[in-house]
Amino acid sequence: MTVSVSAAPPRLVMRGIVKRFPGCLANDGIDLVVEAGQCHALLGENGAGKSTLVKIASGVLSADAGEIFWEGAPAAIGSPAAARALGIGMVFQHFSLFESMTVAENVALGTGDPSPLPALAARIAEVSARYGLALDPQRRIADLSVGERQRVEIVRALLQDPKLLIMDEPTSVLTPQEAQSLFGVLRRLVAEGRSILYISHKLAEIRILCTAATVLRGGRVAGTCDPREETAASLGRMMIGADFAPPARAAAAPAPGEPRLVVDRLSMAPEMPFAPALDAVSLAVHPGEIFGIAGVAGNGQAELLRALSGESLAAVAEAVRIDGVAVGHLGPRRRRACGMGFVPEERLGRGAVPDMSLADNTLLSASRSEGMLSRGLIRFARARQFAETVIGTFHVAAAGPDAAARSLSGGNLQKFIVGREILQKPRLLIVGQPTWGVDAGAAAAIHRDLIALAQEGAAVLVVSQDLDELFSICDRIAVMCQGRLSAARPVRATTVEEVGMLMGGVFHLDGTAEGPGHAPAP
Amino acid sequence: MPLRLEARAEPSRAMVFAAPVIAIAATLCLGGILFAALGFDPFTALAAFFIEPVSTVYGLSELLLKATPLALIGVGLALGFRGNVWNIGAEGQLIIGAVAGGGMALALYDVSGLWVMPCVLAAGVAGGAAYAAVPALLRTRFHANEILTSLMLNYVATLFLGWLVHGPWRSPEGYNFPESRMFTDSALLPLLVEGTRLHVGVLFAPLAAFATWVIVSRSFLGFQIKVIGMTPAAGSFAGFGPRRVIWFTLMFGGGLAGLAGAMEVAGPIGQLVPIVSPGYGYTAIIAAFLGRLHPFGILLSSLLLALIYLGGDAAQIALAVPFAVTQVFQGMVLFFLLAADVLIRYRVRFDAPRSVAS
């Protein structure tokens, strides 16, 4: 299955690729050269054009203009099947697996392999053993961790014997330890002469893994380089086009008085099959404190956020308390009246109605606190005025209060939603993924705003997958895994490695953490 | 020259208003072709269908009379449609409204007074709302799809009315015809224009449209309905209760349909008969969409659909075509409207053959 390494033509050349969507020039004359046996990084912020370029290379989209050469010969990649036939394999960021089927069945479906399942299972076992990708072909996807699911995708791609493997943000769902073992696999693939096109915006991992990089910015190539010879700062400058300063967290930890938010043995049944249940989650957040919850996506964070916001109600009212008041049975509007603000994970479609104006969108959460209602009728002038204040105070780039929420970029909409909550002066703010898919400038602004809010005495709870973010803004961090929450540790007394172990479900590091690993719930 | 649909960056506002006009124009063209295929001169036939019925004062009064139930039901349904509540049961709610209003008129057969007619109408509203409460309960309590439950209840209502007028409520002086007694004058809606059938109930249509407009565009309740209809997750984030929206929109639409039913039996019909509606409850669905779910738009679209009813009646006489021609035209309007609505989000591109191989 090894591929011969030759000094001859590059494996993939894309020249002058142009792709236009209505209202957006996604790729504007992009050149990309991937050599044989090279791990090539494709770097760029959200919206820089990475995904579009990769979809063209894998036959999902066709370019409006430009040429593609495969091993020196012109190639037309008209469909994903054509890409597979050439030897291009793809591992997507979002997995396309059937939860209720086994690994082997999923591979058979994904590759259209007509060989009988036992033979296929044997080949899966062989490939996974050769690359150290431990995988049991007979297990059901629903029982696998996210890291294992990604292995299924990788093995599925490797069974096609690809010469070029495209990986889209592969570590975004992995713990640091899982990411390390993935890097080992990728290095072996490169050593066999395969090429890898590695898409990411994480500068550190690109510097240790890749030997060449193409940086995209706003649909154009901002530069090419050897990432091993660059610093994270210089790569970041190429990617963003400007320097950005990480937020500075004031050192003084607040003296713990009465906690503002208490979650006391909160348990929730799963809402859907295969969704995690919350299992006796306990935590306390004090005024002036930023409390972080880390964890790999899909381990109950979304369920916890819904239980905190009041979208799902707790069985016991005392399981959630704000300033000592039991609110577990109250819905979102009653909890807001208790001084809670909430920024959901999905900004477009939960935090904002895409087709409504920013002014109308303020009515979602600020209607009562900002006096926008009068006898059941809406005072539109108040809503507009509030939206204008949010736009001005938080430097939201928008056409004005009448702009539709969907017309804003992700970062600007997030600034608007965070600003909408902060301006209501919440005593407690709960934020899900504050900077997910947000450009670096907006992320820094949001971090500053959250820190300022905490310094004014509010309690802030942040749920995030981004460990760098949590370590830079939080006072204490707890880790969510399979619906359980570890004990909280002060940020200064813990390390990324330790949190990574907890993310992987190792809950008994020093014997003091109370998360009892795999023991049944009391 | 290949034709291609291309997604627009933004939904076109102009097309929102142009689509009904396109649909009406296409309906007229295809209608003319159909008449020509049947051997009529298309222009004479279309004139007989669309112009002659409203060329007299009496014709205009009939137009308003038929547009009234369509508008009342249409604005009520549209409020629900905005909130993703798909009440297809307005026909049944109209019939139960007629039964309740008619029952009240029969119960007050021996009394007279100015308060009798308002009682009849109030009973109609209550009857329609109560009938719409059944799908509301099934949806909020058992997650049963209201499209199916409300639609099926239409047949129940028709049969229930048939049983009443064939049995317990049959007129003792009616020579065994399946009809109730004629209502007394106290129960009937006073006429607005002598010599026509146009009654004061016609005024309820603009009133209902205005009230609905206030709810939709000025009230917080209407805002909640719109949010839940457009983005249910945002409604859940904001804490808007979907149950409340389901209950309110179904009861509101059912109440207006019930009012329309009571006004039919206390107006032009004057008694309970087996068939009290030529499908107003279904046609109002078309009126709601043709009027872009906007209360004032629905007033206009109701007039057009009422004209199709009148034209169908006139064509039966003038051209000797069957009543089904009404439904053909209704169907064409809806069909072309759905097709034209594609243009709100997409534009048509005529491609020159492309030089770059795709």
pLDDT tens column, B143-191: 999 999 999 999 999 999 999 999 899 998 888 889 999 999 999 999 9
Could you tell me the two tokens for B196?
């026509």
Position B312 pLDDT exceeds 60? yes
What pLDDT, on a 0 to 100 scale, did the predictor assign at position A508?
Answer: 52
Average pLDDT over chain A, rounded to an integer: 85
* Cβ distance of B231 and A360 shorter than 8 Å: no
How far is B317 from A430, CA to CA, in rounded Å?
70
Q: Tell me which residue of A207, A209, A164 sits closest to A185, measured CA to CA.
A: A209
Amino acid occupying residue B246: I
Amino acid occupying residue B335: F
Do A232 and A301 lie in a common domain?
A: no
Which chain A residue's Cα is nearest to B229?
A353
* Cβ distance of B237 and A78 shorter than 8 Å: no
Do A191 and A311 lie in a common domain?
A: no
Side-chain half-sphere exposure of A304, counting CA atoms within 13 A: 34
> How close A365 gets to chain B, by Cα (Å)?
6
Lowest-confidence pick of A71-80, A252-261, B95-104:
A252-261
Tell which wins on pLDDT, A451 or A201. Answer: A451
Average pLDDT over chain B, rounded to an integer: 92
Number of domains comprising chain A: 2
Average pLDDT over residues A465-490: 89
Long-range contacts of A272-279 (CB under 8 A, 24+ apart): A273/A99, A273/A142, A274/A99, A274/A142, A275/A303, A276/A300, A276/A303, A276/A482, A276/A483, A277/A303, A277/A483, A278/A303, A278/A304, A278/A307, A278/A483, A279/A482, A279/A483, A279/A484, A279/A521
Lowest-confidence pick of A108-112, A222-226, B150-154:
A108-112
| pLDDT tens track for B236-295 | 999 998 999 999 999 999 999 999 999 999 999 999 999 999 999 999 999 999 999 999
Residue-number span of the structural domain to which B281 is assigned: 71-297
Position A379 pLDDT exceeds 60? yes
For residue B220, give the nearest of A62, A365, A378 by CB distance: A378
* Cβ distance of A78 and B219 shorter than 8 Å: no
Average pLDDT over residues A311-322: 92
Do A187 and A284 lie in a common domain?
A: no
Q: Say whether residue B243 is in contact with chain A using an 8 A CB cutoff.
A: no
Tell which wins on pLDDT, B309 or A299. Answer: B309
How far is A286 from A490, CA to CA, in rounded Å?
13
How far is B267 from A164, CA to CA, in rounded Å?
78
Average pLDDT over residues A316-320: 93
Task: Please report whether residue B322 resides in a domain.
Answer: no
- Whole-number percent of chain A with pLDDT over 70: 90
Q: Say whether residue B44 is in contact with chain A using an 8 A CB cutoff.
A: no
Do A228 and A267 lie in a common domain?
A: no
The dihedral formed by the CA atoms of B14, B17, B20 and B24, expressed in degrees to the nearest 10 = -80
Q: Say whether residue B230 is in contact with chain A using an 8 A CB cutoff.
A: yes
Task: Please report whether residue A419 resides in a domain.
Answer: yes
Task: Please report whether residue A370 resides in a domain.
Answer: yes
What pLDDT, on a 0 to 100 scale, did the predictor assign at position A227?
Answer: 87
What pLDDT, on a 0 to 100 scale, did the predictor assign at position B357?
Answer: 41
Do A221 and A277 lie in a common domain?
A: no
Q: Which residues lie closer than 8 Å to A417 by C-beta, 6 or more apart? A: A343, A347, A351, A352
Most confident of A258-262, A397-401, B13-17: A258-262
Name every chain A residue with its beta carbon within 8 A of the beta carbon of B242: none
- Res. A363 pLDDT band, cuts 50 70 90: very high
Position A126 pLDDT exceeds 60? yes
Task: Please report whether residue B156 resides in a domain.
Answer: yes
Task: Please report whether residue B358 resides in a domain.
Answer: no
| pLDDT tens track for B26-57 | 999 999 999 999 889 999 999 988 999 999 99
Lowest-confidence pick of A308-312, A428-432, A505-509, B4-8:
A505-509
Task: Please report whether residue B14 resides in a domain.
Answer: no
Name every chain A residue with its beta carbon within 8 A of the beta carbon of B225: none
Do A59 and A130 lie in a common domain?
A: yes
Number of domains comprising chain B: 1
Do A281 and A225 lie in a common domain?
A: no
- Which residues 48-87 in chain B show a CB within 8 A of chain A? none
| pLDDT tens track for A49-107 | 888 898 899 888 888 999 999 998 998 888 888 888 899 988 876 778 888 888 888 88
Tell which wins on pLDDT, A118 or B234. Answer: B234
Name every chain B residue with its beta carbon within 8 A of the beta carbon of A356: 226-227, 230
What pLDDT, on a 0 to 100 scale, did the predictor assign at position A515?
Answer: 40
Lowest-confidence pick of A3-7, A126-130, A183-187, A254-258:
A3-7
Average pLDDT over residues B96-125: 95
What pLDDT, on a 0 to 100 scale, did the predictor assign at position B80?
Answer: 96
Do A288 and A354 lie in a common domain?
A: yes
Do A79 and A193 lie in a common domain?
A: yes
Task: Please report whether residue A31 resides in a domain.
Answer: yes
Task: Please report whether residue A6 resides in a domain.
Answer: no
What pLDDT, on a 0 to 100 scale, did the predictor assign at position A176?
Answer: 80
- Which residues are A165's β-sheet partners? A89, A196
Position A244 pLDDT exceeds 60? no
* Cβ distance of A311 and B223 shorter than 8 Å: no
What pLDDT, on a 0 to 100 scale, did the predictor assign at position A2?
Answer: 44
CATH number, domain of A87, equals 3.40.50.300
| pLDDT tens track for B76-97 | 999 999 999 999 999 999 999 9
- Res. B358 pLDDT band, cuts 50 70 90: very low
What pLDDT, on a 0 to 100 scale, did the predictor assign at position A509?
Answer: 44
Amino acid occupying residue A236: G
For residue B237, give the nearest of A22, A344, A377 by CB distance: A344
Q: Tell me which residue of B1, B9, B21, B10 sits closest to B292, measured CA to CA.
A: B21
- Whole-number percent of chain A with pLDDT over 90: 39
Task: Please report whether residue A249 resides in a domain.
Answer: no
Could you tell me the two tokens for B175?
């020579």
Q: Say whether residue A333 is in contact with chain B using an 8 A CB cutoff.
A: yes
Do A138 and A103 lie in a common domain?
A: yes
- Whole-number percent of chain B with pLDDT over 70: 97
Task: Please report whether residue A3 resides in a domain.
Answer: no
Do A275 and A233 lie in a common domain?
A: no
* Cβ distance of B230 and A353 shorter than 8 Å: yes
Count of other CB atoms within 10 angstroms of residue A179: 18
Lowest-confidence pick of A43-52, A481-490, B149-158:
A43-52
Q: Is the ipTM of this complex over 0.90?
A: no
Lowest-confidence pick of A29-38, A74-83, A288-297, B1-10:
B1-10
For residue B239, give the nearest of A65, A332, A354 by CB distance: A332
What pLDDT, on a 0 to 100 scale, did the predictor assign at position A255?
Answer: 57
Task: Please report whether residue A121 resides in a domain.
Answer: yes
Task: Please report whether residue B55 resides in a domain.
Answer: no
Position A179 pLDDT exceeds 90? no
Average pLDDT over residues A315-323: 93
* Cβ distance of B236 and A331 shorter than 8 Å: no
Task: Please report whether residue B307 resides in a domain.
Answer: no
Do A217 and A332 lie in a common domain?
A: no
C-alpha distances (whole Å) from A396 to each of A362, B155, B319 are 14, 55, 65
What pLDDT, on a 0 to 100 scale, did the predictor assign at position A174?
Answer: 77
Q: Is A5 left (phi over 0), alpha (psi -120 to 50) or beta?
A: beta
Task: Please report whether residue B327 resides in a domain.
Answer: no
Residue-number span of the structural domain to which A158 is assigned: 12-240
How far is B31 from B18, CA to CA, in rounded Å?
20
